[in-house]
Amino acid sequence: MEQQQRIEILQKLIQIDTTNGNEAAAAHYLASVFSDFGIASEQLHYSDERANLIVEVGSGAKTLGFSGHLDVVSAGNHEDWTYPPFSATHTEGKIYGRGATDMKAGLAAAVIAMIELNQDPTFTGKLKLLATVGEEIGLLGARQLTEQGYVQDLDAMIIGEPTQNTIVFAHKGVFSYRVESRGVSAHSSVPELGKNAIDKLIAFYINLQAELGKITAENSVLGAFVHNTSIIEGGTQINSVPDYAHLIGNVRTIPEFDNEQIEQLLRDVIVKMNDHDPDSDLRLVVTQSSYPMFSQPDAELVKIAQSVGKAIIGQEIPCIGISGGTDACEFTRGNPQMPIIIFGPGNETPHMVDEYVEVANYLQMIDVYKAIAKQFFAV
């Protein structure tokens, strides 16, 4: 494929506004790109305007997966941008636009690598693309694909999130929850006639902090288990006893204290409080539970990616663990033994005004992906 065509594929993908939705348009566009090269694809809808894309090329006993998400975060105030956020303006060696780095460059690089490998008569091996919806909020597509068995046949996976010339082989999981407190409304002048939902929620918060303080688990790569209380809301007006309040928490889990353990801790605190106080009516709602991803740093895929990256990029490629989560949280749940690495083009501008990707970095990663695939199947 000519360099200009590679660039135009990325530009057209960025120009499709997939802000927290509308991924079906992007999935349809990429399906048409594959179709132009005689490659069939499948679209798995999450909802009317949201569709994951699944593509397979090649054949063989082993399967290497590529993955990237189709959605982007809001561009905010478009007037703050130097160039319109969905223009994909190409200037001075950079392509500007929402999603340029996070992560349409990585996704486009994987698409093109698959097409070019499929055209290479010397290439043998099976490649599978999983392009997902809803990664930015909830890992929706990855969960749907995992639950429907699309990752079970994979022997390894590369996710093209921007990693700034590093390889991420491990990251924390995500556990988000809401604790609801229900009470009985009454006039604030006679609070004894009601049950204050906020009071019970504060008591829960205090008890939870005491239990969290006992957790000393750490991971040598990912660090400590992290809990954050993000939102507390309750009540409707100043002269009424509140009959409802809720607390929202976000947890970054590690293998040593994982999602099941934090959920059990929360349930234990709630059961104890409800059992000991007849006025306490606390309920737990789990809104997201995505597990830690932890591949071994000496896995074959990691070693191949480091070697290829050094040869093509021209520098050492360190392996690291991070706190943030990716679609790997869901994929690893469906195929726990599968090595996964996060390795893709991009920089420090995700979610920022004037997000961009360097064209040279994007083109380089196409070659990196192709070389990784060739070596993976040669082993």
Residues with active-site annotation = 71, 135
Which long-range contacts (C-beta less than 8 Å, at least 24 apart) are formed by 258-261?
258/173, 258/291, 258/292, 259/173, 259/175, 259/289, 259/290, 259/291
Interatomic CA distance for residues 331 and 306, integer angstroms = 22
Nearest one of 164, 129, 161, 170 to 373, comparing CA atoms: 129
Q: CA of 91: how far to CAs of 11, 88, 108, 347, 365, in Å?
A: 12, 10, 19, 17, 20
Query: What residues are paired with 90 via a beta bridge?
Result: 95
Interatomic CA distance for residues 55 and 251, integer angstroms = 33
At 184 the three-state DSSP class reads strand
Whether the bond between 103 and the residue before it is cis, its omega within 30 degrees of 0, is: yes
Nearest one of 1, 4, 3, 163 to 68, comparing CA atoms: 163
Interatomic CA distance for residues 83 and 353, integer angstroms = 10
Interatomic CA distance for residues 340 and 293, integer angstroms = 8
Q: Tokens 């360097």 label which residue?
A: 358
134: left (phi over 0), alpha (psi -120 to 50) or beta: left
Nearest one of 367, 295, 344, 305 to 135, comparing CA atoms: 344
Structure tokens at 173: 């999981």
Strands 125-132 and 63-69: parallel
